[in-house]
Amino acid sequence: PTSAVLPASAAPPRLADAHGRVLRKLRVSLTDACQYRCFYCMPEHATFSRPETLLRPDEYHAICGELVARGIEELRITGGEPTVRPEFRAIVTLLAQLPARLALTSNGQLLERHLEFLKDVGCTRLNISVDSLDPGRFGRITHGGDLRTVLGCIDRAAALGFRLKVNAVVFRGINDDELGDFARWSAATGIEVRFLEYMKIGPEHARTFERFVAADEMIAALRTQSGFDLRPVAVPHDSTSFVFDTPEGARLGFIASESKPFCGACSRLRLSATGVLRACLMREDGLSLRGVAPDAYDGILPRVLALKPTGRLHHVDQAMHEIGG
């Protein structure tokens, strides 16, 4: 068989593919739209799906409910920028009722107003993207982001007890001189910073991929810039990052999707804002779960899992904001 929904004794059935990879995590995109235009993610004149084509809150609840019943343990809400979706709270409220861990990835610009709500519904794991700690650079990378607002949101979230991680994509000649600053910020705040390799995703990568920096080079630069001693930290087997801490109190992760792909341990599926379930960030194809009857899932899911590549695909032209990063 190419893939299967494996029955397990007491626990919910596990979604697993033919290569033994168990699918436990779902990235749920609320929209392909965003108020930023990060140069590597979103073209200046991007067009977005019409609102009426997006999944309604009840559709998210139904689809994610079926997937959770088949073994998905974590729902990570993402986009585009999830907080620009007018039905953000309605969708999060319904997803929070499912028996799964709820997490959110956001650019942090419009997030602070939702923090109390997120805490109330139990969505306490936040990843916030901050590609530069310099306000001018941050504005140029994002085309409109305000660093003070984002750092203010992070401070407030930390005070409210959220589990926070900050994501920074590292680019040669743009922010690769800030690795030490991020490390010192992590030591000062106690918040983990994860440095991401620039992935060959979207229409922009062909033009700007000379900016790519591999994780090994980041680590060397980070040591030089900070003088910190990096000590490896154990992470779960399907973690996308490898992590270090330092005697100064910093916690620093690296997501080396290009130089050290983790496809063999990948446990992720992605649901687009229009209802397409994808088995891999690097593949544009998937199958729609919109309007699918509950008893048809066991027929469709193996076909989606069969689309999961065993090794790293070279590039994908569809942008991350469209797929659901």
- Contacts with ligand SF4 by CB under 6 A lie at 34, 36-38, 41-42, 79-81, 107, 129, 142, 321
Nearest to 141 by CA among 164, 116, 168, 113: 168
Among 3, 31, 78, 240, binds ligand SAM (CB under 6 A): 78
Q: Which residue has the tokens 């929209």?
A: 31
| Contact in structure between 198 and 172 (CB atoms under 8 Å) | no
Among 17, 32, 66, 81, binds ligand SAM (CB under 6 A): 81
230 three-state secondary structure: coil
Q: CA 304 from chain center: how many Å?
A: 20
| Contact in structure between 215 and 259 (CB atoms under 8 Å) | yes
CA distance 127 to 35: 17
Residues 170-229 that bind ligand SAM (CB under 6 A): 196, 198-199, 201-202, 205
DSSP state of 291: T
User: Taking CB under 6 A as the rule, does residue 17 contact ligand SAM?
Assistant: no
User: Taking CB under 6 A as the rule, does residue 106 contact ligand SAM?
Assistant: yes
Q: Which structure tokens are listed for 101?
A: 């861990």
CA distance 146 to 126: 19
Q: Rounded to the nearest whole angstrom, what is the least distance from the CB of residue 321 to ligand SAM in the complex?
A: 5
From the list ligand SAM, ligand SF4, none, pick the one residue 202 interacts with, judged by a Cβ distance below 5 to 8 Å according to partner type.
ligand SAM
From the list ligand SF4, ligand SAM, none, pick the one residue 42 interacts with, judged by a Cβ distance below 5 to 8 Å according to partner type.
ligand SF4
From the list ligand SF4, ligand SAM, none, pick the one residue 78 interacts with, judged by a Cβ distance below 5 to 8 Å according to partner type.
ligand SAM
By CB under 6 A, the count of residues binding ligand SAM is 21
Q: Rounded to the nearest whole angstrom, what is the least distance from the CB of residue 315 to ligand SF4 in the complex?
A: 17
Of 216-224, 230-238, 302-310, 317-325, the segment contacting ligand SAM by CB under 6 A is 317-325
From the list ligand SF4, ligand SAM, none, pick the one residue 267 interacts with, judged by a Cβ distance below 5 to 8 Å according to partner type.
none
User: Taking CB under 6 A as the rule, does residue 169 contact ligand SAM?
Assistant: yes
User: Taking CB under 6 A as the rule, does residue 240 contact ligand SAM?
Assistant: no
Q: Which structure tokens are listed for 303?
A: 């076909």
Q: Rounded to the nearest whole angstrom, what is the least distance from the CB of residue 44 to ligand SF4 in the complex?
A: 11
By beta-carbon proximity to ligand SAM, the closer residue of 81 and 245 is 81
Burial of 19 (0-12, 13-18, 19+ CB in 10 A): middle
How crowded is residue 87: how many other Cβ atoms within 10 Å of its Cβ? 17
Q: Rounded to the nearest whole angstrom, what is the least distance from the CB of residue 312 to ligand SF4 in the complex?
A: 21
User: Taking CB under 6 A as the rule, does residue 251 contact ligand SAM?
Assistant: no
| Contact in structure between 118 and 106 (CB atoms under 8 Å) | no
User: Taking CB under 6 A as the rule, does residue 241 contact ligand SAM?
Assistant: no
By beta-carbon proximity to ligand SF4, the closer residue of 34 and 271 is 34
Nearest to 28 by CA among 115, 105, 122, 98: 105
Q: What is the dihedral of CA 266, 272, 276, 277, to 10 degrees?
A: 20
CA distance 196 to 232: 17
Helices and strands of the chain, counted as H and E runs: 10, 15
Q: Which residues here bind ligand SAM, judged by CB under 6 A?
A: 34, 40-41, 78-79, 81, 105-107, 129, 167, 169, 196, 198-199, 201-202, 205, 320-321, 325
